[in-house]
Structure formats: structure tokens, C-alpha cells
Structure 1
């Protein structure tokens, strides 16, 4: 195995610290998500495990409390038209910044699913009215559309939900009967604050992105958000006085915390922010590019010294770790201990993990 150069080691250490995987762990879900700004959230277990990997003393139930009782976080379609978990206060400026560019692709996908513009508009109005009255589950909203002749077959329902998000303030907020229900952001969180000027919003975006992902390139910000390269440059330029850069264009906040020691062996959930916060995943996955499949599935992984060395899965209460390269027995034991912590965090019964080792 080729030894990493000191510059690459320093970059990895800085990013792991920015991500909250190194250094002092967070003690609340809000601390984790506030640091990262947005956590990809199409996999409900994945974003809960992203919080686990960066915190201490928490359980998945604490995340439900933050969503349902404190109303401090919500999920909505934001960056790249993908569901993201964000702090409640950040939803209000991220939504107008990251969603307008999704409108044309939304119309196209609705048409592909057999939903006319009139049906989409009708569906959006029905959903917006329903969630303004009380939290609603997916099934209840689907039933509402079915009753009113709005197509829901195949992916039509999801794209009508997305269209509602683009034109209204639809978010997923409280957990009701084990499912995160849909609500109106204004009804659930209170009236929206005054809108930010676009340049101010881009500056805030760049600042918050670098806080959780720096050092990074301008291209990385554009990739992560789905914004244009021009907008990403405007954001970086607006905070230039607060940043430093190297000859390759990697930029970080001047007051970034000192890089902490590399974390111990740790299991990361599917779609962990460490795997999609930058355009290139090579520094983390190395030769194991298959942990992200061709159809965009981000597998759960095991991180050792800042590198992916295994994947894992959870079926019938048993967590199975499959190594992708030879892994020392001591590291395997550490991963098994973390597997027990994963089950405890999720509120599942204790059960020994299984390790499937790749032979040397």
C-alpha cells in the first residue's frame, strides 16, 4: 500500500475535524446538523446514524425528540433536489437558494410520470392545504391525491410531493407513529423570517459549507449544493477575508479548529456526509469505489484511520461487517464494539456482530 503524503494526511485530518468525526464529539443532534448544515436524508436510518457517528451520549430517540418536541430540525428537498435534514432556522434561506433551479426538471419528470401541469398544481394545493391543518403521513397524502384524481403510480406521488415543496413550504417534521410526517413549515415552525439578499445567502452558504467541509474547492460547493459554479465563486469571494487557500485552490476558514487526531474505527451509516460532501471521494474510499453503486446507492461503511475498509449491513437484528481489504484482528474487534454501539443507539437488542474478512 502506498504511504500517504503528509499534505494528504493533513487534508484528511482537517476534513475529519470539520465533519465532527475527529475531536470533541457533539452532545446534541442540533450540534451535529448545525455543523454540517445539511445531511442527506433519503435514508431515515442513514441520517440518524450520521448523528451517532459524530456525537456521544445520544440515542436515535433523542433525534426524534429534536424533530417532534423541540422542532429544531426538518427534512425537505433542497441541495441537488435531494432530501436533506437541516436546522429549522436554516431551512428558510436554503429553500429559496437551492430549489428554484429544480423547477424545469420537476415539470419534465412529472410529465414522464403522466402528471399534467394542471394535475400537479391541483395536487400541490391539496397537499399544502392538508398539511396546514395537521401533520400528515405519506399514506394519507397519497390517499388524498387518489381521491381527487391526481396520479400517484410509480414515481408520480414522489414528484408531486417535490412539486409541492418547490411551490409551497412543505417539509417533513414530527415523528408520528414511527414515521416522519409532512407539515407546513410556517404552521410547524412559525412565520418565516425576513428573506436574505441572494449575495448574503451565498456568503452564508459558503461560510457554513466550509465550516463542515473545509478545506474544499469552489467546485465542491457547487457539486454539493447543485448551484452554479458562478454562484459558488460568488459565495467564496464574499467571505475571502475569512478564509485561506493553497496553490490548488483548496480553501478553509482561517479560524478553523486545529486538526484533531484521526478517530478510532467507526461504522458510518448509508449516505454518510463524509462520502458526498466533495466532488471527489477518492481520499476516503481509495480503491473501494464500489461502496457507491452505479445507481447512486451509498452503502454503510467502516472507517479506519479516515479510510473506508469495509461495508456493513443490518438484517434480522444481526449486523454483518464485510471487509474490503485485510484488516487486523484488533481493528476488527474495535469495529465489533462499535457495532454493539450502533444497535444500542437504534434501540435494538444486543446481538454479536458477524465479521466476514477478506483474506490477505
Structure 2
């Protein structure tokens, strides 16, 4: 019998949180992956519209939050890339996962953005023209900043008003022509990243036979236990499609309990029913996967904590305190316990400009 289920008590929430911490590589007993790239592969994709926050999320799971060089090195050497993936949101991932994730996600993003693109007068011809100029820059420079790319477009007479420049970068990313790579200034996250040609490993890699099922399996590896509704939110695909994908996975995944009436799933290989209790104290960066990547966040955050962390009206999700698997609320510099003060200082140092 599955020890996670008790007919008298229902599902043990603390054990579910303990399992989720393990999946996120945040359990104190979890052996850290040897490289940042391996962490990225384990997580499948890590939300990173806040670049420093996404980098910190990987470092946290790698066990290297006192230094950022592992992430900087991975970006510089093409072991880690950033692009618009699920739900049209920027994520960090390994290049070998970039191609199939973009091909899976881009059509739905394009469908939802069709009216906006039409209003921006962004046609296939406009995108072709923009692509030709960027490819020319890459042939001469190898890589290019956003400012250089948009300057070239302006010189060529492309209209970049009303968000068209940003939209064109997205469109070229969805065509698997460009992605974001090395930091422009290795000492500063805010300086941004160079755009580079999509690596051959992203376009020549083996395409999963069943991409949506592979996405679900990878999601559960780094995020389980989770419901199919959670997975549908993460993937940006209909719930019915995720239910069908779960059936195709068969006994590779299994339900290990429920939360708020929804069955929760793990990969079968991860369901060893260990009796770990949730432990560990962390500062989670903005948009951390442990909090954001679920349709229902109530397993790890009560209503007050969710109101504190977000998303707010502007869509922002704040950094937060995590203790024993529960999100306590938004992180800040005031009224800190000793453990919080240590994590807050480490996080601020990680984000601050420096000369490495």
C-alpha cells in the first residue's frame, strides 16, 4: 500500500511537501547535481523573466548560492540558454531541450498573440526582413546585444514602436533562429545577455516521440507531486491534452494522493514513500518554480502568503521565504530572524554588480 495515503487522514500534506522539496532539489538530504546544466536539465526549464532570479534559482538547487560563476560559465559556454518557452515566458534551459520545447510551445503562443501581432502589423514578410538583418550581424559579429540588433533594424527602416522590437525578437526566437546566451557584462545581471544563433544541439537533437508527454514527465521530475491541472498551467496547454498525455505515459507515472480533490502525480521511479519530513530554510527568488509553477499553490502557501508574494496586478511575483516546505510570505530586509538575515545578505550579494 502507498504509505503516503491514510484512509483516516486523507493525504499527508507534510509528506507531499517533503516530496516536492525533493523534486525541486531543495530537500536538505538531496544530493546536489554536479553542474548547473544538470540542474537545468532536471528542472526541464526554469522561469527567468528576472534573469538574476532565474540564475539564483538554479544556483540554489546546485548548492552554489555564494557564487554565481557556475551560471555565468554555463551561459558563456553554451551549456545554458534563455528563451521564450511555455506560455511565452522567458525560461532558462539546456540547449538540447530548447528546440523541442519551442516547437511544442510556439504554436499556442502564436495563436494567443495573433490579434496583437496583427495590430502591430507584424507579418511574415516583416519577420523575414528582421531575420535577414540579424543573421547578417551574426555572420560578422558572432553575437549581438538587443541594442545593436534594434539599431540595425532602425537603420533598415523597420518600425520598432509600440513594442514591435520586443515582438520581433520573440518571433525570431520562435523560429529557432536566436536565443539569449552569454552575459554582456559578466559582473552584472542587469546588463543583460547577448543574442546568439540557436545552437546546433537545439535543432539537430532527437525530437521526443511524444513531446507533450515528455514535457509532463519532465515537469513531474522537477515539480512533483503535482496535479494535471498544475501541469496544464505550466505547459500552457489544455487540461484535456495533459490528461491524454498522462494516459500515454501509463505506469511511468502514478497518483500518490490528492490535494483539494485533485489527484497528485509523481514519476513512478520517485515514489519510494520515504518518510522524510519537510525541512530546510531558503530565500526563493522572484518567480521561483517551487511557488509559481502550479495552478493551485495552496499546498505550500496559505492565502495570506499568496497575497504577499503575488502575482500582483503587475504580474510580479516577489522573492519569498521558504521554511520546511511552506512559503511564509514575501522576502524583505526588515524584521529578520538570523537565518533570514544570512539568506538575505547572500541573495543581495548574488544580485549586486561585481568584478569577477
Shorter-chain TM range is 0.7 to 0.9
Q: Distance in 1 between matches of 2:243 and 2:139?
A: 38
Task: Say whether 1:255 aligns with 2:272.
Answer: no
Are the structure 2 counterparts of residues 68 and 348 from structure 1 closer, same or farther at C-alpha, using a change threshold of 3 Å? closer
Q: Distance in 2 between matches of 1:348 and 1:176?
A: 13
CA distances 1:314-356 after superposition (whole Å, capped 9, x unpaired) = xxxxxx146xxxxxx7xx111112223324544668xxxxxxx
> What is residue 194 of structure 2 aligned with on the other side?
181
The alignment's TM-score, normalised by the length of structure 1, stands at 0.83
> What is residue 166 of structure 2 aligned with on the other side?
158
SS of alignment partner, residue 85 of structure 1: strand
Task: Say whether 1:72 aligns with 2:88.
Answer: no
> What is residue 213 of structure 2 aligned with on the other side?
203
Q: Distance in 2 between matches of 1:26 and 1:149?
A: 48
> What is residue 189 of structure 2 aligned with on the other side?
none
Are the structure 2 counterparts of residues 77 and 90 from structure 1 closer, same or farther at C-alpha, using a change threshold of 3 Å? same
SS of alignment partner, residue 163 of structure 1: helix
**Aligned pair partner of 1:7 in 6, 12, 29:** 12
For the Cα contact (< 8 Å) 2:99–2:203, is it kept in 1? no
For the Cα contact (< 8 Å) 1:17–1:260, is it kept in 2? no
CA distances 1:281-305 after superposition (whole Å, capped 9, x unpaired) = 1222212222111221110111122
Name which of structure 1's ranges 101-110 and 268-277 shifts more when overlaid on structure 2. 101-110
Q: CA RMSD in A?
A: 2.5
**Aligned pair partner of 1:192 in 192, 204, 210:** 204
Task: Say whether 1:42 aligns with 2:61.
Answer: no
Q: Distance in 2 between matches of 1:309 and 1:196?
A: 38
Shift of 1:38: 0.6
> What is residue 219 of structure 1 aligned with on the other side?
229
The alignment's TM-score, normalised by the length of structure 2, stands at 0.83
Aligned residues: 328
Q: Distance in 2 between matches of 1:83 and 1:121?
A: 22
Are the structure 2 counterparts of residues 33 and 263 from structure 1 closer, same or farther at C-alpha, using a change threshold of 3 Å? farther
Shift of 1:53: 2.3
Unaligned runs of 5+ in 2: 1-8, 187-191
Higher relative contact order (CA 8 A, sep 6+): 2
Q: Distance in 2 between matches of 1:97 and 1:19?
A: 23
1:256-271 paired onto structure 2 within 5 Å? 256=270, 258=274, 260-271=276-287
Task: Say whether 1:289 aligns with 2:301.
Answer: no
1:68-217 paired onto structure 2 within 5 Å? 68-69=76-77, 71-113=78-120, 115=122, 118-131=125-138, 133=140, 134-178=142-186, 179-186=192-199, 189=201, 192-197=204-209, 200-217=210-227
Q: Distance in 2 between matches of 1:123 and 1:310?
A: 43
For the Cα contact (< 8 Å) 1:128–1:170, is it kept in 2? no
Q: Distance in 1 between matches of 2:267 and 2:249?
A: 9
Shift of 1:215: 1.4
Name which of structure 1's ranges 130-139 and 103-112 shifts more when overlaid on structure 2. 103-112
Shift of 1:132: 5.3
SS of alignment partner, residue 295 of structure 1: coil
Are the structure 2 counterparts of residues 186 and 308 from structure 1 closer, same or farther at C-alpha, using a change threshold of 3 Å? closer
For the Cα contact (< 8 Å) 1:52–1:345, is it kept in 2? no
For the Cα contact (< 8 Å) 1:127–1:164, is it kept in 2? no
Q: Distance in 2 between matches of 1:84 and 1:13?
A: 25
Q: Distance in 1 between matches of 2:165 and 2:275?
A: 45
CA distances 1:174-220 after superposition (whole Å, capped 9, x unpaired) = 22334311111146x576224343xx222221211111111111111
SS of alignment partner, residue 174 of structure 1: strand
Q: Distance in 2 between matches of 1:191 and 1:303?
A: 38
Q: Distance in 2 between matches of 1:175 and 1:260?
A: 39
Q: Distance in 2 between matches of 1:244 and 1:32?
A: 24
Q: Distance in 1 between matches of 2:23 and 2:84?
A: 24
Are the structure 2 counterparts of residues 126 and 231 from structure 1 closer, same or farther at C-alpha, using a change threshold of 3 Å? farther
